[in-house]
Structure 1
């Protein structure tokens, strides 16, 4: 029996080995994609931020600069202006995107005629390319022929046209409004998906106990929606903090850095001043900020799971 069993054992071990290698072959494309398009850019950016690379020595040998680029960045007052604008842009965008999106999700969670059509129309703002949305808002907020000035003058709120995008006090606010308009549908659809997955029995029991709609929202909806809300806010922070195209098209960071944010600042250093290493250092600072936020989010979610 032993001579007959040995070949079968070898065949089984060979088939397991073949199956293991087949699994690795199937995941090889995604591994290559992560290495080429994720890991390599991060490693290259870290290396670039620690060197002295500019337009004059781009093709020459680069010497190690250590943390000089980071020190130069922290000494630049424009960096702190861009950091403050990024924080204001992110916080205000998220507050209104989430608040309005949650209100719309609660509204569309009810059954009424035309609900699906209205919900589909709401998604158009999110489906449109950012370049189109930015161009439309740039036209609407134009100081000479913008429709916003026309409506506000007709309503009597202003007496003369206002240059919304070229005024230091309103340029950042204008980009925030445009970004809020883009993000509302995404927040709405994610929150609506969470609301539709809730058990109706809990609400029926609460109504039988005489709980008002406010108490149902406070004690049932919010606690059950907490994981969805945390994920949505984390995604919103990451996506909003690195917004570049919308602000670049509408104001390009101006006037006088009043709407300048960290992605625009990194672009200006790298492709306008050709200080490639300092631009990489700013990108790494953004990356570190987002990593810290991601770690904080993971600790919060793990704490929730433990409880």
Structure 2
């Protein structure tokens, strides 16, 4: 991997809650996935209550789940990490679609409709808009561009249950909704696509403080390539946290019990990479993937 593609990012997350009844359960997903192209240099997670913690890593997506049961009172989770990314870059015109018979088994679930990505409902629309385009990366980019230009980013315009079909109808939403719509349109024309979370590196401060960010990975050319249909952040600065069929699979925090969220703070910044060079993530015309691709 050429050094000029290497970037290193340090990020912090602090999540605070008030637990109002005993035996409240939490599942967190704020730690970066460990992949061959996403190396964790530093990793520290603390929890304010002295409770048992159980970790699980999904073998298919590398998503890292932290499970714990908290007692009554305040609970604060703090995470800090430094991650070095060496993403794969490719010229878009060199990336064909991967035919269904050639898809790895773990990719197959991302062909199907899911709760928030009703690709079956949107099949007719997707085929009329994108069905005749060249079957490669460019067709995925066309879907991404269409969503970017036809949906307005409006904070507070959707809810946690808004689906892709609703976003297509209202033509407004936040990053989660842009991602769901793009995923549904990709799946509707037989392109595997998944919902992925990170932090919104490079987002306009006018949109608010640093936050978690939803983007899309589409499986073409034997790799998961990154797309940001909301256009609010810089893909070269995306640290992958979790991936799934839609937002239901990739929440940064899930609470079970009587719990009130109290605080949420996130920060991310580029730092010096292992070769001693500080590189600032920028927008590039290349296709970018932090997936290691097919075996050779």
TM exceeding 0.5: no
TM bracket (short chain): under 0.3
Q: Which has the higher helix share?
A: 1
Larger radius of gyration: 1
TM-score calculated relative to the size of structure 2: 0.27
Q: TM-score, normalised by structure 1?
A: 0.26
